[in-house]
Structure 1
Amino acid sequence: MPPSTVLATGAVWTSSESLTIPSTDILSFVFANLDQYDNDKPIFIDAADPTNSISARRAFHVTRRLIKGLKDLGLQEGDCVCVHAFNNIWYPLIWLAIIGSGACVSGTNPACNASELVRHFRLTKPKFIFAQGHCIQGVMQAASACHIPVSNIFVVDLPKQTPPVDGCRTWWTLLVNGENDWSGPSDDDDDASVNERIAVYSMTSGTTGLPKAAMIPHRSIVTQSTLLERQFDARSYEPSQLICLPVFHAFALPLALVLPLRLGIQTYFLPRFVLQDFLQAVDTHEITDTPLVPPIIAALNQLPHAQRHLLRSLRYVICAGAPMPASVQTEVYKVLSKSAVVAQCWGTTEAGWHTLFDWNVKDTSGSVGRLLPNVQMRLVDVGGVNVGQDGQLGEALIKSPTLFTGYLGNPDKTRDAFDSDGFYRTGDRVSVLDDKVFYEGRIKEVMKVKGWQVAPQELETVLMKHPQISDVAVVGITRDDGLGLPETLPCAYVVRAPVAFAAESSGDAVAGEVGRNSPLTAKAVQQLVAAKLISYKRLTGGVVFVKQIPRSATGKILRHRLSEMELDVPNGVEAAPADTEQYPV
């Protein structure tokens, strides 16, 4: 019988299933099963050049050699090492070696500029930095500002014989002095104490403010990976993964960095998502599994019919990072093969994965799944009172072995993150209906319009059903109500779909829609919302057409940056008043 989400005593939702979690460190967990599969088959594979690959046997020895090199340089327990790189086949080994040295690893987005890196380095204080060659100038500028010696920067994508770059070293120099085992329990430690050591500084998305560094212990990553492992064990086919999302992010991390070696899963890497590269990789390597984010799913929905066959091998697509409207999920089933499953899941940087459906459940309700084993959830209203009624919205509070230990250097934020019973306040609006969890957006994003609460995601879900809209974000803008008081009005930032796709789309007529080949107007967008929702949810703050919606690497809308986006107003289409102020910031 499949696990279900049940309401236990004390208004706590939990899974009907519980699993035993190994009490061990990450590397012991990762390499525990090497005797159960062919150690010479490729595990980490370059999707663009599959001859460039790493077997489990090679991964084991290179990781140990890198641990030796780092320890010889003086890396100690509690130190931090930053990895500033796009996805590549060496990333998992560098990540494992840093953790195996007793240090903690912090991955940064390689698209960050020097000033953003300075902020990150000042927070995490890395002793060493691994960086890709084309990112090296920004890294060197930031390192200089933070007094990190240039000799402590290692370039990871240069040939072995390449001379140093402006004083930096190639990472190959760390592999020449033999091997060293990883830092597990010593005679003075027990498994539990090692399990609680910090392994990763994981940066929060910064959707409403500056990113924070969540301190993630070994326990959290081992637990998440154990909960996901049984999903792979239950497959009726042999999976092969394609990773195009940032591997340092909480969503992709266990899938890309832990489970491939743990289970012998062949995993192909793309540096980042580029649509044509993605399509070619799926087709060429007959990929079965891939984690994606909603904007990528929306892009797949716009594929012309002539290209959709390239995705025929996909069997299981996991989607997270941001809300995905049920209409988008339903539409992608028309693109993929009949055997494919597209499953939403829900999680947080601070507490990892919370929900998921079993791998063979084809759900189109818009649910993000059922609570994973060992996860407890409370829902509370704005007054902190428990919500126990089926279908009732509340802020989700999570308690699980996957929880982080706090925010680095920020005891006040750490204290505020937990309630008195040790539940983590996610800030997410969630409901449970018929044992399935539904994610309804962020608490901080809810607007007060004429005294009523309005969730941006509700309006975005309605707007995404329009065939001429490819992406959208709704925010509240403030302006004088004529009586000297500020009022909040919903405003939509809209990205038009390509004309060819809009003309090709099929389905029922959409209220407020202009001709499918006519330019989409602000009036049509406003009429669509007016026809579907109550009056106070109408787009009285206007409609702004933009070239793109700013999103984080995992698809979360960066609402505070919407006003910076390039406008798309070829026909003088109405926009929100220029003197309005964005909300929230």
Structure 2
Amino acid sequence: MLEGCVPWPAEAAAEYRRLGLWEDLTVAEMVERTMRSVPDKTALVFGDRRISYEELVRDSRRLAVALLDLGLKPGERVVVQLPNLPEFVIAYLALNWMGAIPVMALRAHRHAEVRHFIRASGASAYLLPDVVGSFDYRPMAAEMAAEFPSLRHLIVAGEPAPGQRALDPLIAGDSVTDRESVARLAAVRPAPDEVSTMLLSGGTTSVSKLIPRTHNDYVLNARLCARAAGFDRDTVFMAILPLGHNYNLASPGLLGTFAAGGTAVIATGTDTEAIFATVERERVSVIASVVPLISGWLDSEVPKRFDLSSLKVVQNGGARLAPELRARLASRFGCTPQEIYGTAEGLINMTRLDDPRELLLESSGAPVSDHDEIKVLDDDDREVPDGQTGELVTRGPYTIRGYYNAPEKNAEAFTADGFYRMGDIVRKRGRHVFTEGRRKDLINRGGEKISCDEIENLIFGLPQVKSVALVGLPDPVFGERACACIILQPGTTLAFDELIAYLREQKIASFKLPERLEIMAEFPVSPVGKILKRELREKVLG
């Protein structure tokens, strides 16, 4: 594996191969396998664009060869920050074909996060859009290139700025025949044990850690999740959320759809009318969603105007969907609600479509593999009986054994015998898991994780601030929202607008901004001076 990664123990790897879990296929080869069975079938839909499996494989190969010709090398890392477009899928597969490693940034990330991803991964290329909404990514890319000499290639989906290169002509690759691209890529085929993709951790500390997923484990991840979701060649899956998220990429997401030979429809936005018009037009059978969207749909009259008879399953991930909302979803849309709970580090739990009603409505699902090892531990790392709460830990054929270049973090995040600490408090009944909350200090805003440490450290940069604590408050739409509780220096003032303006200057993602400010005279603290955030939260809520 790439230097800085932790491989599975040799005995475990041999066992996973013996069991047929690891197929020794690359991610791109998995898609090619489907293509050989259904070459003319539509793989991707985006608005009026329809791309067959044969076209998807051909275009991704052409781009892979073009990237090799630019000087990008197998094993090099590439920060990918493309919006939900077919070009995202083509570029992702292209990097997998030629052995470069995509680092999956999200559209909302800005200078602080992108700088960290480039530095932490040692990236040599950056794939970005030109303008999305009101934000122009090209000046940010230019700043990054000036700061990091290793960043040799800036490739833009859209109109490039000077010194940057357009993506579309590289995909066209008219001078490269299909036979030539196959031969060129065979010579640089990555080993299936090599890293395929670097995902981002939820960020329980001030910065996200890089999660190295290998071809073998990520192909398995997609295949198992597709099976648990009942995906087949008739599946029409709608992707609404960022494609760079593990949930929408491979759990089951795009790659699960491709593994099953279905069709993936990329939504053009989150507008309710546009989403359900697309469900009607494309006969969508499965939607991957999150709590805020589902809550909005249930409170809207818009879906009633469309024919939703094709819709069989609405999946929810990122944050737990309340049982009453699951019941309303089933009743309103005549579909099965499917809860998906897991981690980009590996373990995915899913309710099964034929689970008893109680489990469908109450649980967070069961592991997608019989070979996922799960335990619930108390504060002393002792396993607790079923029904008691504790921290969920896991080990298995698609759960990493370590973060990239992070030995100190690995010592905290993994047990001595290789179990990954999920950081979630759960109770277990058989193989089904019931989530209770987070062990560490994170705010889960609609599936996006906000590190309290990160935002608190930034707020301390304001001279008026004597002490700060960020807490999550309940929100009917997003699950939680951030409230900044601040003790001011004597004789100073701080307005909410002033706080937000300062944080925006730090160029962080907008979802991390506090949505409420509380000025306080003191915080509740323990005898050793630790801020008691639970009591603080109760104080804010009154």
Global fold match (TM > 0.5):
yes
| CA positional deviation for 1:24 | 2.3
Match of 2:329 in 1: 332
Picking from 109, 112, 116, the partner of 1:119 is 116
Does 1:68 pair with 2:18?
A: no
Task: State the superposition RMSD in angstroms.
Answer: 3.7
Distance 1:182 1:366 in 2: 51
- Residue aligned with 2:337, SS: strand
**Partner amino acid, structure 1, of 2:29:** S
| CA positional deviation for 1:271 | 4.6
Q: Is residue 341–residue 364 contact of structure 2 (8 Å, CA) maintained in 1?
A: yes
Match of 1:377 in 2: 374
Match of 1:216 in 2: 213
CA separation of 1:406 and 1:66: change in aligned 2, threshold 3 A: same
Picking from 346, 350, 354, the partner of 2:348 is 354
Q: Is residue 43–residue 261 contact of structure 1 (8 Å, CA) maintained in 2?
A: yes
Task: Write the mapping of 1:404-443 to structure 2, written as runs, cut at 5 A.
Answer: 404-433=400-429, 435-443=431-439
CA separation of 1:579 and 1:109: change in aligned 2, threshold 3 A: farther
Distance 1:132 1:40 in 2: 29
Pair member with larger Rg = 1
CA separation of 1:346 and 1:144: change in aligned 2, threshold 3 A: same
Does 1:27 pair with 2:28?
A: yes
Picking from 261, 265, 275, the partner of 1:278 is 275
- Residue aligned with 2:331, SS: coil
TM-score (norm 2): 0.74
Is there any run of 5+ residues in structure 1 with no aligned partner, and where?
1-17, 159-163, 447-455, 465-472, 476-488, 498-544, 547-557, 568-574
1:476-532 per-position Cα deviation (integer Å, ceiling 9, x unaligned): xxxxxxxxxxxxx998735578xxxxxxxxxxxxxxxxxxxxxxxxxxxxxxxxxxx
CA separation of 1:370 and 1:278: change in aligned 2, threshold 3 A: same
- Residue aligned with 2:113, SS: helix
1:433-490 per-position Cα deviation (integer Å, ceiling 9, x unaligned): 25421111211249xxxxxxxxx99xx9xxx9xxxxxxxx9x9xxxxxxxxxxxxx99
Q: Is residue 343–residue 357 contact of structure 1 (8 Å, CA) maintained in 2?
A: yes
Q: Which has the higher helix share?
A: 2
Percent identical pairs in the alignment equals 21
- Structure 1 window deviating more from structure 2 (18-27 vs 214-223): it is 18-27
Match of 1:202 in 2: 199
Distance 1:183 1:386 in 2: 51
Distance 2:95 2:343 in 1: 23
Is there any run of 5+ residues in structure 2 with no aligned partner, and where?
1-18, 132-136, 453-468, 478-495, 498-508, 524-530, 537-542
**Partner amino acid, structure 1, of 2:410:** T
CA separation of 1:231 and 1:19: change in aligned 2, threshold 3 A: farther
Does 1:228 pair with 2:225?
A: yes
- Residue aligned with 1:415, SS: helix
Q: Is residue 398–residue 425 contact of structure 1 (8 Å, CA) maintained in 2?
A: yes
Q: Is residue 199–residue 213 contact of structure 2 (8 Å, CA) maintained in 1?
A: yes
| CA positional deviation for 1:375 | 0.8
Distance 1:56 1:561 in 2: 38
**Partner amino acid, structure 1, of 2:473:** Y
| CA positional deviation for 1:157 | 3.5
Alignment size in residue pairs: 450
Distance 1:195 1:127 in 2: 22
Distance 1:182 1:400 in 2: 35
Distance 2:256 2:70 in 1: 29
| CA positional deviation for 1:224 | 0.6
Picking from 136, 139, 144, the partner of 2:138 is 136
Q: Is residue 323–residue 441 contact of structure 1 (8 Å, CA) maintained in 2?
A: no
Q: Is residue 24–residue 193 contact of structure 2 (8 Å, CA) maintained in 1?
A: no
Does 1:393 pair with 2:389?
A: yes
Task: Write the mapping of 1:6-25 to structure 2, written as runs, cut at 5 A.
Answer: 20-25=21-26
Distance 1:278 1:249 in 2: 19
| CA positional deviation for 1:261 | 3.3
CA separation of 1:73 and 1:405: change in aligned 2, threshold 3 A: farther
**Partner amino acid, structure 2, of 1:75:** L
| CA positional deviation for 1:266 | 1.3
- Structure 1 window deviating more from structure 2 (124-133 vs 299-308): it is 299-308
CA separation of 1:291 and 1:166: change in aligned 2, threshold 3 A: same
| CA positional deviation for 1:168 | 1.2
- Structure 1 window deviating more from structure 2 (89-98 vs 321-330): it is 321-330
- Residue aligned with 2:440, SS: helix
